[in-house]
Structure 1
């Protein structure tokens, strides 16, 4: 298993310190979207994802640098070990679903920045991106029941697999095409 993500509270604190008005889940979704779309995983990812060239590269060893390193490693993991930075089961259903929708908003926006307006996607990738865009427009509901909990777990797994699929369509396929040329 590749490196684990830093704890959500560490990333939230790093976002505040960097002056970002972005929740940690949305920033992680943006990083994932950037990487899945074929964006450069180098030190200036934060400026690219946030579309703010004045943002400095995260300091080595910082929570944001560790977030980038772990996320990059997870995308390259052959066991599909990608984790989403969302609250754990202790948080309310509303908090967790809201964070998942924030993650999707970040993903869709940064994916578009990295992949461009007409990325080369498989039929499954096109469908997955459309589904992520729908989730990005969703809003959290107040607490629900066990069925809602199960549905959220299924949606979270779908989002994780969709991100990996899009990474395969864009980032991995582009690398493969470059090796062939």
Structure 2
């Protein structure tokens, strides 16, 4: 199963805000398995897409030098289900950037409909301890998510906007 829950970034302002989108297709495994006969995207996957959008925003603020992990979701509210055929928009805003971690506030919408809101705390792992636990490879910021950010930055520069 795919673990990237965003398709692309549509806006990215370093240390401030990021917006990403995810188009929901009937072909995704979770629609057939979550509630058979009533295809909805699991709330945990909606929250994961929001966390990936915010996590890249937080990681980019330190040039991806820190290993960032989702530490806590102190508040999350879901207003309705997300269905196949919809396009979700994930918007995250940095509330606080600190040496030990960061807080983002996020919203998930489909068109004008509010799907969910959440506050997410990301912690920075101590480099020596995280190397013991996970090895030297930065498992979050190497690969598809970082590639998606690069595409957004190149597109913004092509439009004359600051990436």
Q: TM-score, normalised by structure 2?
A: 0.33
> Greater relative contact order (Cα 8 A, min sep 6): structure 1 or 2?
1
More helix by share: 1
